[in-house]
Chains A and B, each alone.
Chain A
Amino acid sequence: MKDEYDLIVVGGGPAGSTAAKFAAEGGASVLMLEKDRDIGMPVRCGEAVGAEGLARFIEPNDKWIASKINSFRLVSPAGLSVDIEGLSDGGYVLDRRIFDYELALMAGNAGATIMTKAYVYDLVKEGDSVKGVKIKYLNEKVEFRSKIIIAADGVESRVGRWAGLKTTIKLKDMESAIQISVGNVDCKPNRLDFYLGSEVAPGGYLWVFPKGDKYANIGLGVAGNHNKSKSARKYLDNFMEKNYPEASILTTVVGGVPCAHTLPKIAADNIMLAGDAAHMVNPVSGGGIVSGMQGGRLAGTRAAEAIRAGDYSYKFLTKYEKQWHKLLGKSYERMYKIKSAVGKLTDDDLNRTAEIISSLPQSKRTLGRVFKTALMKHPKLLFDVVRAFASV
């Protein structure tokens, strides 16, 4: 095995694999490092994704699609269910264990070298410049050198911090999240359910995403500043006790979802950040699969260009920041404003909105009509919010 590559990608999630694939296709020698034993495990994710965004990267395949989505249900704080059907652009609930594998395979088949159980614990530096990574692999310490590093190491990104990039997130912008994969629950196979309200998930929402017959991901995110008095786990326990006392829990995962806008600085000399590490997450929905892949594509492509040009400076890499900002970063800034406004809605506001929508006959309750009606009555916000989810 070589000890020097053009590019090292830290993290084998969707952002990392996509970056590795595009860089390898662009002619760079690539090493992708994953800390866990398996690509795609554990799955710290609700696994819902928009079909259209995903199709830009990968042909839909039933082996990683757990269920196909064509409707939403919003449940108001008072318990009123509002179904919105006939989504023109549907989505999927993925099986990320298989999906992430598939993406890594694409990177590998494009020529990237992949190592799992490779835990990056520090950077190789010469003076201030980043020259590679130090890893622990099977209890041994090993160094790999590279011209460029792409840090796709998740929300807890430390690679970025070591390189001097500020990746800390504000408490109020971090969703404290927990999810269980459960059996023996009633769920509609083609519908995503969202529960709103201060009792269920203050400053966030609770989701029931179906993965099969009587099988679903049930999770929630609570805004960090709300988690202080009562933790995400307690909110979920309460919900399950009330709604699904008979559920059998197959997995529990916890984690943080960065619901801010993308970090302003996601590149420096010899390094770029991508995915959750760069906070490339839709701040309203918390969705970050496709956006992470978009970021990975841009970063990987730019890395290959940098290799070809022999220029790994921030000056060269900054084009990546500009491209990201243009592609999604700017719209996430708008989304962030929406999120802040939604955060101010009271349970009464949400209940009223649900009543307005449910007064429409089901046949007319298409997204467009719902929004038109909701718009007239008041909450323009709802329009923006559901649109945000539709593009997860």
Chain B
Amino acid sequence: MIIVEENKCDFCGTCVAVCPVDAIELFEAQIDILHDRCIDCDLCVWICPIEVLHTVEKEMASA
């Protein structure tokens, strides 16, 4: 699953623009990944100019 390092994010919306399933919500200085929609295509991870999105194993994220 995808996680965002929110304290490093610039909230530029580049990831939102490439997401094929509208699974990223950007509110002012807050960004949410809608995990039930996300298809783990990783496009957002690849496009981020400053590498604040990452793929992690589900278990790690919940740990």
Give me the interface of A with B, judged by CB distance under 8 Å. 35, 44, 119, 121, 136, 154-158, 161, 167-171, 174, 176-178, 222, 224-225, 227-228, 231-233, 252-256, 258
**Inter-chain contacts of B50 with A (CB < 8 A):** 178, 231-233, 254
A256→B22 contact, CB < 8 A: no
A171→B47 contact, CB < 8 A: yes
- Pick from B13, B22, B46: contact of A171, CB below 8 A: B46
Q: With A35-B28, A178-B49 known to touch, is A254 a contact of B12 (CB < 8 Å)?
A: yes
**B20 CB to nearest A CB, Å:** 5
B26→A224 contact, CB < 8 A: no
- Pick from B28, B47, B51: contact of A256, CB below 8 A: B47
A167→B17 contact, CB < 8 A: yes
Q: For the complex, what is the distance from the CA of A157 to the CA of B13, rounded to whole Å?
A: 9
- Pick from B12, B13, B43, B51: contact of A233, CB below 8 A: B51
The 8 A CB mask of B24-62 against A (1 = contact, 0 = none) is 001110000000000000010011111100000000000
B17→A256 contact, CB < 8 A: yes
B6 at interface, CB cutoff 8 A: no
Q: With A119-B28, A231-B51 known to touch, is A255 a contact of B43 (CB < 8 Å)?
A: no
**Inter-chain contacts of B3 with A (CB < 8 A):** none
**Inter-chain contacts of A169 with B (CB < 8 A):** 17-18
A154→B49 contact, CB < 8 A: no
**Inter-chain contacts of B1 with A (CB < 8 A):** none
A156→B13 contact, CB < 8 A: yes
Q: For the complex, what is the distance from the CA of A254 to the CA of B52, rounded to whole Å?
A: 12
Additional A-B contacts beyond A227-B48, A254-B10, A256-B18 (11; CB < 8 A): A119-B28, A154-B13, A156-B26, A158-B16, A161-B22, A171-B18, A171-B46, A174-B18, A233-B50, A233-B51, A252-B10
Q: For the complex, what is the distance from the CA of A233 to the CA of B22, rounded to whole Å?
A: 25
- Pick from A156, A228, A252: contact of B17, CB below 8 A: A156
Q: For the complex, what is the distance from the CA of A150 to the CA of B46, rounded to whole Å?
A: 30
**Inter-chain contacts of A121 with B (CB < 8 A):** 27
**Inter-chain contacts of A253 with B (CB < 8 A):** 10, 12
For residue A169, which residue of chain B has the nearest CB? B17
B28→A232 contact, CB < 8 A: no
For residue B41, which residue of chain A has the nearest CB? A171
For residue B44, which residue of chain A has the nearest CB? A171
B4 at interface, CB cutoff 8 A: no
**B24 CB to nearest A CB, Å:** 9
Q: For the complex, what is the distance from the CA of A258 to the CA of B16, rounded to whole Å?
A: 12
B22→A174 contact, CB < 8 A: no
**A258 CB to nearest B CB, Å:** 7
B28→A176 contact, CB < 8 A: no
Q: For the complex, what is the distance from the CA of A253 to the CA of B10, rounded to whole Å?
A: 8
Q: For the complex, what is the distance from the CA of A252 to the CA of B12, rounded to whole Å?
A: 12
For residue A168, which residue of chain B has the nearest CB? B20
A168→B18 contact, CB < 8 A: yes
**Inter-chain contacts of B14 with A (CB < 8 A):** 155-156, 174, 176, 254-256
**Inter-chain contacts of A255 with B (CB < 8 A):** 10, 12-14, 49
Q: With A224-B47, A231-B48 known to touch, is A168 a contact of B10 (CB < 8 Å)?
A: no
**A15 CB to nearest B CB, Å:** 15
B49→A228 contact, CB < 8 A: no
6 pairs across A/B with beta carbons < 8 Å?
A155-B17, A168-B18, A170-B18, A224-B47, A231-B51, A254-B12
**A335 CB to nearest B CB, Å:** 20
Q: For the complex, what is the distance from the CA of A201 to the CA of B50, rounded to whole Å?
A: 15
**A261 CB to nearest B CB, Å:** 15
For residue A229, which residue of chain B has the nearest CB? B46
**A138 CB to nearest B CB, Å:** 12
- Pick from A156, A228, A232: contact of B16, CB below 8 A: A156
**B29 CB to nearest A CB, Å:** 10
Q: With A35-B28, A119-B27 known to touch, is A227 a contact of B47 (CB < 8 Å)?
A: yes
For residue A121, which residue of chain B has the nearest CB? B27
- Pick from A170, A252, A256: contact of B13, CB below 8 A: A256
B49→A232 contact, CB < 8 A: yes
**Inter-chain contacts of A119 with B (CB < 8 A):** 27-28
For residue B45, which residue of chain A has the nearest CB? A228
**B42 CB to nearest A CB, Å:** 8
**A254 CB to nearest B CB, Å:** 4
